Structure 1
């Protein structure tokens, strides 16, 4: 596990914490401090995990969601989080790296989730986004689609939609689009 709060722990333990002027370390930005707080308080469901490609860069990480129920049960979906300097006043940029047949995720990985756009508020956290993304896999929303074709199929024929989701997750074509296998 990444030691997010080693300095905080040193302070608590009464050890002296090196100042940034003597250690040569950069001072953490407000966005970094808030992300550290959010990650420390992160309460991931058993179907989710995080990966930090660069342990020194907490502003860029992956969230892996492996739904255990619903249309997407058994799939493994990776989301790339890029937290900007204006966080928490602006939401992180979140993209789905796994190509998925989903009404609210387009084929380029853009995600239609209200709290990542118009309903974002600084009181929301990384945890809020995790649960929002997880909910998209439990309850896809055809009323606000990025993938209109998938939304239309979900509204008109749930069995065909479920068949298309399984076909895509197994690795295959849905229409003229090929999906890489994403089953665990």
Structure 2
């Protein structure tokens, strides 16, 4: 019995001598996100930012559209990825209040690929850039980048913006411009997002 006790003490002393930062266990979600981030093809209009470089499951994506109605704006999205990724899609939220049919006033994003059309075979690139090789996914191919090129009035979160887009495209464009500058549209004040 004494021998077992002394062996336990020896092991404890050896472990204490090798004191140092213990390596955290890498999860399957972290491995997949790391792979997806390495394969991410961001154009010149998009950048990722990591508040904590050790936390790759939470990051920001900035989009600076260089064409379309939202040209000249800078939009920031929070990406939160849970430990069940890729079985669960990333949670994406716009950090600014903007006038957009597919983004509500709280920043929730309505994008099929982030909801019912998400599949574990899809990756972050599909969510961010959009054009996934699988052509059988129709509207799900529209990713974050295309959210600003072609807003979708048929699947809105902001119903007023969608009605404007459907009923009066030129009026919608004017409202977008006013909102980008931090103006008020339909009694609602928006964040200034012009660069």
Alpha-carbon distance in 2 for matches of 1:70, 1:180: 19
Alpha-carbon distance in 2 for matches of 1:49, 1:147: 26
Alpha-carbon distance in 2 for matches of 1:108, 1:23: 40
**Residue from 143, 167, 180 that aligns with 2:154:** 143
Q: How does 1:41-120 map to 2 (within 5 A)?
A: 41-120=39-118
Residue deviations 1:55-93 (CA, integer Å, cap 9, x gap): 110000000001000010010000000000000000011
Alpha-carbon distance in 2 for matches of 1:95, 1:162: 23
| Matching residue of 1:175 | 186
TM-score, reference length from structure 1: 0.87
Alpha-carbon distance in 2 for matches of 1:23, 1:183: 44
Shift of 1:118: 0.3
Alpha-carbon distance in 2 for matches of 1:23, 1:67: 43
Which structure 2 segments of 5+ residues have no match? 1-19, 130-142
Alpha-carbon distance in 2 for matches of 1:152, 1:23: 56
Instruction: Provide the secondary structure at the position in 2 that maps to 1:138.
Output: coil
Which structure 1 segments of 5+ residues have no match? 1-21
Shift of 1:102: 0.3
User: Following TM superposition, where does structure 1 have runs of at least 4 consecutive aligned residues deviating by more than 6 angstroms?
Assistant: none
Root-mean-square deviation (Å)? 1.2
Question: Which protein is bigger by CA-based radius of gyration?
Answer: 2
| Matching residue of 1:164 | 175
TM-score, reference length from structure 2: 0.82
